Amino acid sequence: MESPEPAARTRVPVRGAPHAVTVGADGARVVFLRSTGPHDPAAGLWSFEVDSGEHRRIADPTVLLGAASTAGTGDTAGAGITRYATDPAARVAVFVLAGRLFRADLVTGDVIEVPVVGSVTDARPDPTGSRIAYVSDSDADPVGPAGATGRDRSGKLRVVHPDGHDVLLAGEDGDITWALPDPAAADFGRDRGYWWSPDGQSILAARADRSRLPRWQYADPAQPQRPARSRPYPVCGGPNAEVTLHLLDLDGGWVDVHWDRETYPYLVSVDWSDGSPLITVLRRLQQHGLVLSIDPRTGETQVHAELADPRWVEPIPGTPCHLSDGRVLVGGELAHDGYDARCLFADGTLLTPAALYVRRVVGRLPGRHTSPDLLIEASDGEPSEQHLYRVRTAASSGGLDAVRLTSSPGWHVAAVGGAVLAVGSATLDQPGVRWTICRDDTELGVLRSLAATPAVTPRPTLQRVTDRRLPSGVLYPQSHVAGRRLPVLLEVHGGPGHQQVRAERAGWLARQWWADAGFAVVTVDNRGTPGVAPSFEKVVHRRLADVLLADQVDALTAIAEKHPDLDLDRVAVRGTGFGGWLAGLAALRRPDVFRAAVARDPVTDWALLRSGYAERFLGLPEEGGEIYPHHSLVEVAAEPVTGSDELRPLLLVHGLADGAVPVAHTLRLSAALLAAGRPHAVLPLAAGTDPDAATVLRAELGFIRQALGPLG
């Protein structure tokens, strides 16, 4: 097997590559993060001046903190600048390094440290660029044993004025946080807890009362001298945090926002870029939601749109928001009159055609007619590709208007400001993401990448299989000779909201390492994954286990008919997190297909997951009958073994201090497997252990080799 290892193949090419791209509202400047090369993990802040084409390094974390502070690999300092925020014009940027706050003047290039109270976890300049709001996290341990996901953060909202005066706007002690995402926010893609008003005179802030939540303990048994940390956890079927919104004036004024929080407890999204604030709220089972506008004077809300689906509501990122003519843009799903699509609506008027699967609203482009157009990311018939489209918002007698802006097959993302468009393109024909700066279809420059070129060039075969047209990919060893039979490694995830089969090279680099070890690597996006149609995604509602596993098995059979070199008598399956659950399920429920499984950080008991995630797909545990036991690997493992052919070896790999999927999942499954006499092994990883380290991967490879026999 050749080097380098998968970690080197996937991480080194990312180092030195531009990412986190922002375009100023006037199109004068593009801001981004980038390290100095493939051996530098610490990203700095850069700008590209559109008129001159000049690349400028604005902030170097090594200079700001010192080389010793940025030499680590596991903390935020070692990663350099991981997040920044600018004013709309991108004249000012603020960012956090090792809990310290820095302000960069993007015009002059000057960077200063701003004195703060406590450790900073989020910082944002106001729209004028003069004040900075931040969340003080004075009680948090920046490198606790459970890592960032396991921290119990204590948030207080503060504002620094131009004269340096630091004011506490809101904050309480105990299990109440201000201006931080509540424990359920991540399940809806919301990563912030406060929003500046367009005039910079007030802030809309979320308050989360977590006192009703049970507290879960996180510890690293490999470090017994370190105390365990605890954090509130909204366990499935249990209470959630009570989330409220409040309008805070800088002079101390306070207005509460009113909506039916008992019926709609989930705050899914907030936008306050224009006009009045817009929020999306959902019922607990997420089958009905409201888009509300807030009167900033009184805090009263008005319904702009209802979102409903008998399975679950899935709002489109970037919506809701105000259009230039005052209409409210809402993203949702249309499943009648021949439609089966994710669409955009403006005050109820459909804007996008039936064939388009809208993934995200990026922003506005100057219109070619009377109103600004929308820039969106979407797919049209081929889920492995994502393209950019210009969508007309003005009323048109000629029908719906969506013009595709990208041509090469691949995965395209964008940022926009004024008439300037930053396009990030990833394809199978090129390494990494190429960022191109354009205005009016004219290329103005390219954000220089300092990343290394990977040593391998994966060439997967992408195709749709079975009568359900499941997206799939097959990858052979680089030295493969046609006619030589190969064992199969099925790499699975299968979870809603996640795609593996994408027409871009980065996702196939690590898989090529496994292929070169002697496998045909197969990846399938079963029903439940995005990009095809809402009906394709949501057929899994309350029956994930049956649909996903059937799709994976059927796809394997269909792929082998097209690829006769695949040996279906020697199939192993491997997955992480949700994919770890699916890998374990495959080995336990279909031992006739799968000879071995590796489950990394597996979800083994859905009743131990967060309420916002598990209940979306399976409902409430107390109302679901046998649904939760049917999806539990712990329950499946306890079923009686009827024959030796059902004893398939299973390797469980889990971080002892994992904050996302606690190690209790693996420990409970291991106990059930042991009690049932089912063969398995457990590979525990201490805190700070890189789960992609070469030694761990080689251990997984050795386990699979032993189960399948010589790979040839």
- Residues of the chain with pLDDT > 90: what percent? 79
Predicted local distance difference test score (pLDDT) of residue 61 = 96
Q: How far is CA 604 from CA 191, 215, 609, 637, 669, in A?
A: 26, 20, 9, 10, 6
Higher-confidence residue of 402 and 371: namely: 402
Grade residue 141 by pLDDT with cuts at 50, 70 and 90.
very low
Instruction: Indicate whether 123 belongs to any domain.
Output: no
Query: 400: closest CA among 353, 343, 342?
Result: 353
- Out of 283-287, 315-319, 330-334, least confident range: 330-334
Predicted local distance difference test score (pLDDT) of residue 143 = 29
Grade residue 144 by pLDDT with cuts at 50, 70 and 90.
very low
pLDDT at 615 over 60: yes
Predicted local distance difference test score (pLDDT) of residue 164 = 92
Instruction: Indicate whether 565 belongs to any domain.
Output: yes
Predicted local distance difference test score (pLDDT) of residue 692 = 73
Q: What are 339-357's pLDDT values in tens digits?
A: 798 999 999 899 999 889 9
Grade residue 148 by pLDDT with cuts at 50, 70 and 90.
very low
Predicted local distance difference test score (pLDDT) of residue 220 = 80
Grade residue 174 by pLDDT with cuts at 50, 70 and 90.
confident
Contacts with 385 (C-beta within 8 Å, 6 or more apart), sequence order = 379, 409, 410, 411, 502, 503
Predicted local distance difference test score (pLDDT) of residue 300 = 98
- Out of 182-186, 397-401, 512-516, 646-650, least confident range: 397-401
Whole-number Å distance between alpha carbons of 601 and 516 = 25
Q: What are 261-291's pLDDT values in tens digits?
A: 999 999 999 999 988 999 999 999 999 999 9
Instruction: Indicate whether 304 belongs to any domain.
Output: no
DSSP-derived secondary structure for 384-397: T-BEEEEE--S--T
Whole-number Å distance between alpha carbons of 51 and 26 = 12
Q: Cα angle at 561 between 456 and 582, to 5 degrees?
A: 70
Average pLDDT, the chain: 91
Instruction: Indicate whether 554 belongs to any domain.
Output: yes
Predicted local distance difference test score (pLDDT) of residue 400 = 74
pLDDT at 73 over 50: no
CB-CB neighbours of 173 under 10 Å: 8
Number of helical (H) and strand (E) elements in the chain, helices listed first: 11, 43
Give the domain CATH number at 670. Answer: 3.40.50.1820
Average of per-residue pLDDT across 184-202: 96
Q: How far is CA 108 from CA 59, 92, 105, 111, 118, in A?
A: 12, 10, 6, 9, 29
Q: What is the DSSP letter of 80?
A: B
Helices 578-589/544-562 angle, 10° precision: 80
Instruction: Indicate whether 657 belongs to any domain.
Output: yes
Instruction: Indicate whether 65 belongs to any domain.
Output: no
Q: What are 7-30's pLDDT values in tens digits?
A: 656 655 689 999 999 999 999 999
Instruction: Indicate whether 43 belongs to any domain.
Output: no
Instruction: Name the amino acid, one letter, at 51.
Output: D
Question: Which structural domain range is residue 527 located in?
Answer: 461-708
Instruction: Indicate whether 672 belongs to any domain.
Output: yes
User: Which two tokens mark 34?
Assistant: 């980038």
Whole-number Å distance between alpha carbons of 484 and 614 = 43
What is the number of structural domains in the chain? 1
Predicted local distance difference test score (pLDDT) of residue 8 = 59
Q: What are 417-445's pLDDT values in tens digits?
A: 999 999 999 999 999 999 999 998 899 99
